[in-house]
Structure 1
Amino acid sequence: MRKTFIGPHLRRLRLERGETQGGMARKLGISASYVNLLENNERSVSVQVLLRLFESYGVDWREIMDEDGASQLADLRAALLDPIFDTRPDLPQLRAALVHAPDLAAAFLRLHRSWQAANDQLLARNEGDGGTIAASPEAAVHTVFRRHRNHFRELEEAAERFWPAPVERDEIYTSLKHRLREGLGISVRLARVEDLPGTLRQYDEARREILLSEALDHTNRTFQLVHMCGLLEQRELLDLLVGRSGIADPRGVARLRVELANYFAAAVLMPYAAFLAEARATKYDLDHIATRFGVSFEQACHRATTLQREGAQGVPFFFLRIDKGGNVTKRFNATDFHLAEFGGACPRLDVHTSFRTPGKIVPQFVEMPDNTQYFVFSRTVDRPTWIRHAQDNRLAVAMGCTIAHAAEIGYAEAFSVAGARMVPIGINCRICPRANCDQRAYQAVILTRPVDEKRRGATRFDG
């Protein structure tokens, strides 16, 4: 069982009540020195102490468990790797900051995110009023998922209760239609492309009808129905999770509800224990897994990033989806890898070149500017097609994990991990410190060295 540390939360609880360590110790029936050790994360908390906290302070133990400590540490480390900082604190220093000054660390992260949002808006805008600088809805949602380590226990539990009795996979679509009709009074109808232009799914609340475009294949029709079940049946749970998120912007709230419903749908179609067992047995053969669970390759990839249940964790992955223009269109992260929020991913990532070999896995070993190394595999995925003039709607997805987990991935079996050639990459050109990269698209804001007119380097920015 993993040791549980509650230092910052315990200290905050004590200070909010104006108590000394001695006063708290008397209430909990422990020594003041033990309270001091707990507050400094030098001792893990026992079940008995957690129960006494509940009895003495009325605090649910789940509210003070340090569940987000790992993600906070990763976020703090990633922020300080930004080239604007001329310092590289080691992990003990960062852990100490989270233990002794958690509010200051949280404020620092909010400030850094605001700086990133402001910088990106200034870079993307030539003129016009900027208004209030705020994180985009996508960035706000990404932060919420990151804070939860891409895993939502309540949604997993709700998904496990979804089917009152086992349902055969080839009967899921029919069972979903029956559930919606009998349980919620909602009918499902397949609509012609021309009757639902530019739309894959539409819920007509007045008519109590869900319209699914015939452009959707069977896999995605099923996913859309489970998604709607999540939105309608789990409304109270979604409201609770959205309320906890701290997101106030209506656009961010709506985007978060959609992503949480997507999470729920994936958990229903790919039950946690069964998915994890299949992933381990096949060494994350995601094509095979997608076939086994009747989902798409992209849906299987996304689900693999959520396997972060305590005591039953899978390989921690990051997930990146890009379009043919190189724009990042979706991202999820259970690793320390820092994903680009705006613009494109690094052009050295082979996720871009996967468009040349549609449907084939492209493996790659990469190294970030801070010398952290990852194994990444990419593949194209197809999107629904409405008209013959827009048949090539491919996107590309990349999945990555730290080099330490490469041996658990079947796609890496053909390589000697110890001797693998590492491709140097960055987050994206905007903040990458690799001045002499021959793939640089534009000058990074952190590279201020003037151009040498007497020299021509690998790019026009390296003079």
Structure 2
Amino acid sequence: MKKTFMGVRLKRLREERRLTQAALAAKLGISLSYLNQLENNQRPLTLPVLLALNSAFGLDVQSFSDDDEARLIADLREALADPALGETIATADLRELALNMPAVGRALVTLNRKYRLATEQSAALSARLGEDRQAASAILPSTPFEEVRDFFYAHNNHIPELDEAAEAIAMRMKFPIGQMAPALAAYLESRHGVKAVFDTFDELPSGTQRKFDARAKVMRLSRRLRPGQQAFQFATQIAILEFDNELRSIIDKAGFTNDDARGLARIGLANYFAGAMVLPYTVFLSEAERWRYDIELLGHRFGVGFETVCHRLSALQRPNARGIPFFFIRVDRAGNISKRQSATDFHFSRVGGTCPLWNVYEAFANPGRVLTQLARMPDERTYLWIARTVSHGQGGYGAPAKTFAVALGCDVRHAERIVYSQGLNIDPAVATPIGMGCKVCERLDCPQRAFPPIGRALNIDESRSHFAPYATSAPIAQ
């Protein structure tokens, strides 16, 4: 365990419980002077003290993890990268703020997001009124999709009440793992009177996988769906029929800003429930640990595809039964991010694109092949990434297919538990240096840099060297 200083969090815990230093020291079985040193960051928090906190207050030791600190630092770095601030905030200052005043840090991040949303709404309104169209078009308004994505990010991609409810049904009904589709169809018909009917290739609109007729109690599915996909669609319908009140309750508490976001959130939560039913938490985590997180073997075991397994692996964060905290992302060839989920501290930039040195983009040149990469972020944290392409066909010969690259990543400290670390040099010193995106990346000498970082003033010498890739072809006047 590396040295971790959590004095402010410990002091806040004591004040919330209305305890004196002497009372807390007695509960933890340590001396008053030692507690005082801990609260003033003169001594690091140790594992015995963490265990004593857990025993005395029932706290999850994960709440004192430095993962939350790294996540907040990433959010603060983006929030304070605005050139309007007039100065660059050093990483050391961000770390100090995240460590000693996390509540203030979170407030700054929240204020920045509200400011950005207000700016975007103002630009959109100006565009509609015909005012300053160039300025309005420079900033795209936030979308309901992004709002829902941020909701799952804020919850570490884990919704415990849905996860546990889905697993309880799967275990109680003894649904056959990996072959759930017939059993789920029978469950829908016996419990809800819903009959499943497969289309004849022309009854459903192109690209539609499921259509439910509530009046006739008929659920139509595409014949193109594989058994695992059928099971997922059945489970999604079960979520909507049996747990719609719970879905709406979660949505109401989240405070989404419009009906479109609420509608998308309802679909996202129903899909989350379906994943938890087809891949029940306890069984899936046990098999993942057994097979060292081999994605393809897990896909065969549970009868689902590569992307579905990656998605589920990024949600295994049940207290006292956590899997490896993964980050999951899906991109297309143009770099558009259509899915991103993070169970821990890795931060996906909202300012500009992602890093071209990331192996998720190399996957398109090696279709169907699993690629591995050891990547180091500017804050010196190192991650193991796994990437592979997935394709979704829509029809027969000549019909266009959708191809994406999906990537799964985790902190390098978990690498030994993963089969993909075999034969890989996991020394952080040899890791590929990547960033969150050019606009917020601190690596000025990157050969793939597309434009300067936000707020970085250039002098004439820099424009000839570090930033030559996007300098104009015109000669610079002396």
The TM tier, using the shorter chain, reads 0.7 to 0.9
Shift of 1:181: 1.7
Return the match for 2:380 from 368, 371, 375.
371
Return the match for 1:233 from 242, 260, 271.
242
Task: Tell me how far apart the structure 1 counterparts of residues 327 and 389 of structure 2 sit (CA, whole Å).
Answer: 16
State the AA in 2 paired with 1:194.
D
Q: How does 1:248-397 map to 2 (within 5 A)?
A: 248-341=257-350, 344-386=353-395, 388-397=397-406
Q: How does 1:123-142 map to 2 (within 5 A)?
A: 127=134, 135-142=142-149
Tell me which residue corresponds to 1:203. 212
Q: How does 1:156-175 map to 2 (within 5 A)?
A: 156-163=163-170, 164-169=172-177, 171-175=179-183
Q: Comparing 165-174 with 114-123, which one deviates more in the overlay? A: 114-123
Q: Comparing 190-199 with 451-460, which one deviates more in the overlay? A: 451-460
- Counterpart check, 1:87 vs 2:90: yes
Q: Secondary structure at the match of 1:394?
A: strand
Task: Tell me how far apart the structure 1 counterparts of residues 413 and 54 of structure 2 sit (CA, whole Å).
Answer: 33
How many equivalent residue pairs?
428
Q: Secondary structure at the match of 2:188?
A: helix
Task: Tell me how far apart the structure 1 counterparts of residues 413 and 440 of structure 2 sit (CA, whole Å).
Answer: 26
Task: Tell me how far apart the structure 1 counterparts of residues 156 and 261 of structure 2 sit (CA, whole Å).
Answer: 19
Task: Tell me how far apart the structure 2 counterparts of residues 121 and 130 of structure 1 sit (CA, whole Å).
Answer: 11
State the AA in 2 paired with 1:94.
A
Q: Secondary structure at the match of 1:194?
A: coil
Task: Tell me how far apart the structure 2 counterparts of residues 129 and 326 of structure 1 sit (CA, whole Å).
Answer: 23
Shift of 1:349: 0.7
Q: Secondary structure at the match of 1:251?
A: helix
Deviation string for 1:227-259 (max 9, x for gaps)?
A: 111122111221222222232322222222222
Kept in 2: contact 1:438–1:458 (CA 8 A): no
Change (3 A) 1:439 1:359: same
Q: How does 1:48-67 map to 2 (within 5 A)?
A: none
TM-score for both structures, normalised by structure 2: 0.77
- Counterpart check, 1:108 vs 2:117: no
Deviation string for 1:425-458 (max 9, x for gaps)?
A: 1112232233332223344433331555983657
Tell me which residue corresponds to 1:150. 157
Task: Tell me how far apart the structure 2 counterparts of residues 348 and 372 of structure 1 sit (CA, whole Å).
Answer: 16
Kept in 1: contact 2:123–2:137 (CA 8 A): no
Kept in 1: contact 2:374–2:385 (CA 8 A): yes
Shift of 1:331: 0.2
Q: Secondary structure at the match of 2:469?
A: coil
Change (3 A) 1:66 1:454: closer
Deviation string for 1:246-294 (max 9, x for gaps)?
A: 3232222222222222221111111212211211222110000011011
Kept in 1: contact 2:178–2:301 (CA 8 A): no
Kept in 2: contact 1:440–1:459 (CA 8 A): no
Shift of 1:95: 3.3
Shift of 1:8: 5.1
Q: Secondary structure at the match of 1:340?
A: coil
Deviation string for 1:82-129 (max 9, x for gaps)?
A: 37241323656423313xxx3x44321212334555788999996485
Tell me which residue corresponds to 1:426. 435
Kept in 2: contact 1:203–1:209 (CA 8 A): yes
Unaligned 5+ residue runs, structure 1?
15-20, 26-33, 51-60
Task: Tell me how far apart the structure 2 counterparts of residues 435 and 379 of structure 1 sit (CA, whole Å).
Answer: 29
TM-score for both structures, normalised by structure 1: 0.79
Q: Secondary structure at the match of 1:247?
A: coil
Shift of 1:158: 0.1
Change (3 A) 1:444 1:209: farther
Tell me which residue corresponds to 2:26. none
Deviation string for 1:15-64 (max 9, x for gaps)?
A: xxxxxx79xx9xxxxxxxx9xx89x79988979987xxxxxxxxxx9xx9
Task: Tell me how far apart the structure 2 counterparts of residues 361 and 454 of structure 1 sit (CA, whole Å).
Answer: 38
Change (3 A) 1:46 1:375: closer
Task: Tell me how far apart the structure 2 counterparts of residues 155 and 453 of structure 1 sit (CA, whole Å).
Answer: 53
State the AA in 2 paired with 1:197.
P
Change (3 A) 1:457 1:67: closer
State the AA in 1 paired with 2:290.
A
Change (3 A) 1:462 1:422: farther
Change (3 A) 1:179 1:343: farther
Task: Tell me how far apart the structure 1 counterparts of residues 468 and 166 of structure 2 sit (CA, whole Å).
Answer: 52
Task: Tell me how far apart the structure 2 counterparts of residues 235 and 195 of structure 1 sit (CA, whole Å).
Answer: 27
Unaligned 5+ residue runs, structure 2?
1-5, 24-31, 82-87, 128-132, 473-478
Task: Tell me how far apart the structure 1 counterparts of residues 199 and 10 of structure 2 sit (CA, whole Å).
Answer: 53
Tell me which residue corresponds to 1:18. none
Tell me which residue corresponds to 2:85. none
Kept in 1: contact 2:235–2:277 (CA 8 A): yes
Structure with the greater relative contact order (CA < 8 A, sep ≥ 6): 1 or 2?
2
Q: Secondary structure at the match of 1:393?
A: strand
Shift of 1:302: 0.9
State the AA in 2 paired with 1:283.
R
Tell me which residue corresponds to 1:97. 101
Shift of 1:337: 1.6
Task: Tell me how far apart the structure 2 counterparts of residues 192 and 435 of structure 1 sit (CA, whole Å).
Answer: 56
Kept in 2: contact 1:227–1:262 (CA 8 A): yes
Kept in 1: contact 2:355–2:437 (CA 8 A): yes
Task: Tell me how far apart the structure 2 counterparts of residues 122 and 436 of structure 1 sit (CA, whole Å).
Answer: 36
Shift of 1:79: 2.0
Tell me which residue corresponds to 1:77. 73
State the AA in 1 paired with 2:193.
G
Q: Comparing 82-91 with 448-457, which one deviates more in the overlay? A: 448-457
Task: Tell me how far apart the structure 2 counterparts of residues 453 and 150 of structure 1 sit (CA, whole Å).
Answer: 41
